[in-house]
Amino acid sequence: MNFNMASFLQKILFQLDPERSHHVAMRGLQLAYRSGLTGCFIKPVSQPLSVMGLTFSNRVGLAAGLDKNADYVDALAALGFGFIEVGTITPKPQEGNPLPRLFRLIEQKAIINRMGFNNKGIEHAVRKLETIRYRGVLGVNIGKNKDTPLDHAIDDYLIGFRALWKFASYITINISSPNTPGLRDLQHGDLLASLLGALKQEQKTIAAKEKKYVPLVVKISPDLSAEELQNLAAVLLQQQIDGVIATNTTLNRDGVKQLPYAGESGGLSGTPLEKRSTEVIQQLCSLLQDKIPVIASGGVMDKQAGTDKLNAGAKLLQVYTGFIYSGVKIISDLGGL
């Protein structure tokens, strides 16, 4: 698809409410895929690399959040992503937070969302994942239901892991969304150690019984202090976690306070997050000493941002907001890095 056409389509979609626009775009993508049109304008980048014992066709993946329910895996994969991550998926279906809950800050190429893990639950995701044709690297992002108390959070994550491991190349443990009350507390102290310890034990049990080792990846917040990041890294190393995604969205509003919607609650993504996310990657890579690979997410908006995150030590890149604002072009721009 040429740039002018992509720009024209974006302008039309941006006239719609952001959440409605999302649904329209995804259904259009599905239609294009089923009609065989995707291959007419997509030339996938082949730049294979190995991370976490998995072979990626290129280093740019789709972050969780765009396809929460695994409804569009094949259509998205046809765009040339090196890997796809679906979710966040919770054990029970939940509606998420009240509308409106998604806001564009176009001047800064940013988004604020307070979706609240809206998804159709594990049973729906399993049905969808049983039918996909995609055989590339697939990440499955799991979380806890909003009404599950923190002291029972482990149960929700174990339910997710046990139900979804067979479809996953890796499982992402989402403990960093700012839109589920109390969730970020799971990034600290005994709560973190207990959760990761239980999941690592389940990973070992499945590996021994099913002969499939499913890497465990932890998605972290950009709002951690240096001391909190140091403590978190120590637990990740102690528990022998397989990968880290840095970062989720931020509650910080630096650089956007003067813009419409800046006062809305929720996580901020896009260009304003780029610098902080890169700082976290650099600190984290220094703490982990190449023992755990880092996947860059948050502010991966263009080739320069991707290069900066790789220079900071990341091995892979994930896009979400960058994909919303730049379209499929960002895949080819980043895929060859």
Residues annotated as catalytic (active site), given as ranges? 177
Check if the beta carbon of residue 98 is closer than 8 Å to that of residue 116: no
Residue carrying structure tokens 């929460």 = 68
From 337, 272, 269, 280, select the one nearest 312 (Cα to Cα): 280
302 φ/ψ angles, rounded to the nearest 5 degrees = -160, 180
From 269, 278, 275, 274, select the one nearest 324 (Cα to Cα): 269
Measured CA distances, 168 to 165, 171, 320 (Å): 5, 6, 20
Half-sphere exposure of 163 (CA within 13 A, CB side): 22
Cis omega (within 30 of 0) for bond into 307:
no
| Region label for 62, one of left (φ > 0), alpha (ψ between -120 and 50) or beta (otherwise) | beta
Burial class (CB in 10 A: 0-12, 13-18, 19+), 190: exposed
At 84, is the secondary structure helix, strand, or coil?
A: strand
DSSP calls for 272-313: GGHHHHHHHHHHHHHHHTTSS-EEE-SS--SHHHHHHHHHTT
